[in-house]
Structure 1
Amino acid sequence: MKGRNMTRWRDPAKDPRQEPKSNLITLEGAERLRGILDHLSRVKRPALSAKVGEAAALGDRSENADYTYNKKELNRVIARIRYLTKRLDELQVVDRLPAATDKVYFGAFVTLEDEEGEEMRIRIVGHDETDTVKRWISVDAPLAKALLGKALDDDVTVKAPAGDTTYVITDIAYRDPQQ
């Protein structure tokens, strides 16, 4: 019985998707999510509702592609609004610098040097604000977990599929969230 609804069984104890995610977020990340929620609630949802109403007024809905598309899009936007509302209630906003800025904590910009001498600058952020282009990694990522609490010039070894990788912390910086 193969079909599109069949999935492979995963042991819940070993499934990485079941690991609890931290509920931390930076102040600018929380503001960005609130902005998205506000745009969806005040602009996108009313516009889609109007389009659905106009398409429904045209007659037979079963053959009305405009109605079908806009109705699906409206349902997607409503689901996203529900998700963001619930998620923003769960999140804990980190709106101040740590007491010891000479160590790596949440929100830190960390410059790492690998064994070949190549430098990489990352930022440790919440799960909801990760960005591969900016090199912002989740606080739940293996590299971030290995870095937390470390100081300047500390060696950090991270297990990767290709083998263990060792980095040296060459710089730690923070951006003041109140600015």
Structure 2
Amino acid sequence: MKTPLITREGYNALKEELDQLWRVERPETTRKVAWAASLGDRSENADYQYNKKRLREIDRRVRYLRNCLENLKIVDHSPTQDGKVFFGAWVDIENDDGEQMSFRIVGYDEIFGRKDYISIDSPMARALLKKEVDDEVIVHTPAGEAVWYVNAIRYSQP
């Protein structure tokens, strides 16, 4: 079960994607389908088949985005969060081996295509919530426990 939270930036990005799909890509693909259909035999018409498939993909993504945007709750940064890890925070951590990681805790719908974002539902994010700089964090994962230390917390992009 994913937590229905999203940052303001993530919400705006999903809205832009929806707008791009609905106002630009879908009409263009619909025109291509109509053109390819006018050529006759659709069973061996690669343009028709490809664009019809693309139209189904666009429609599926549009339905998902509309449903998603209706149900997500935007979480904005509050100055009272400063100094502790909450949703939307950029966190720098380090383990005893000197391995360092830096990432932002965001909603599930924001993590795709970003290596520096982790979901609020991940074991790491859950373990980090409400921690402060220099706190020890024990993360329970399927591979076992891992110990990390919080080096920095910020709410603006690095």
- TM-score (normalised: structure 2): 0.93
SS of match in other structure, 1:99 = helix
User: Cα distance 1:132–1:115, how it changes in 2: closer, same or farther (>3 A)?
Assistant: farther
Q: Which runs of 5+ in 1 are unaligned?
A: 1-19
Cα distance in 2, alignment partners of residues 71 and 132 from structure 1? 26
Q: Does 1:44 align with 2:25?
A: yes
Greater shift, 91-100 or 61-70, is seen at 91-100
After superposition, the Cα gap between the structure-2 partners of 1:87 and 1:46, relative to the gap in structure 1 and judged at 3 Å, is same
Q: Give the equivalent residue in structure 2 for 1:15.
A: none
1:25 aligns with: 6
Q: How does 1:123-142 map to 2 (within 5 A)?
A: 123-131=104-112, 133-142=114-123
Deviations 1:80-101 (A, max 9, x none): 1111011000110112325231
Counterparts of 1:109 and 1:30, CA distance in 2: 18
How many Å apart are 1:62 and its aligned residue?
Answer: 1.6
2:35 alignment partner, one of 54, 59, 82 = 54
Moved more, 137-146 or 148-157: 148-157
The structure with the largest helix share of the pair is: 2
Matched, 1:74 2:70: no
Residues paired across the two proteins, number: 157
- Give, as a single letter, the amino acid of the residue that structure 1 aligns with 2:92: T
Match of 2:73 in 1: 92
Contact map agreement 2:139 2:145 (CA 8 A) in 1: yes
Greater share of residues in strand: 2
Cα distance change on mapping 1:40 and 1:90 into 2, 3 Å: same
Superposition CA RMSD, Å: 1.6
Match of 2:155 in 1: 174
Unpaired runs of 5+ residues, structure 2, are: none
1:145 aligns with 126
TM-score (normalised: structure 1): 0.82
Cα distance in structure 1, aligned partners of 2:48 and 2:121: 42
SS of the equivalent of 1:103 reads: coil
CA positional deviation for 1:23: 0.7
Q: Percent of aligned positions with the same letter in both sequences?
A: 49
Ranges of 4+ aligned residues in structure 1 off by more than 2 Å: 95-98, 131-134, 159-163
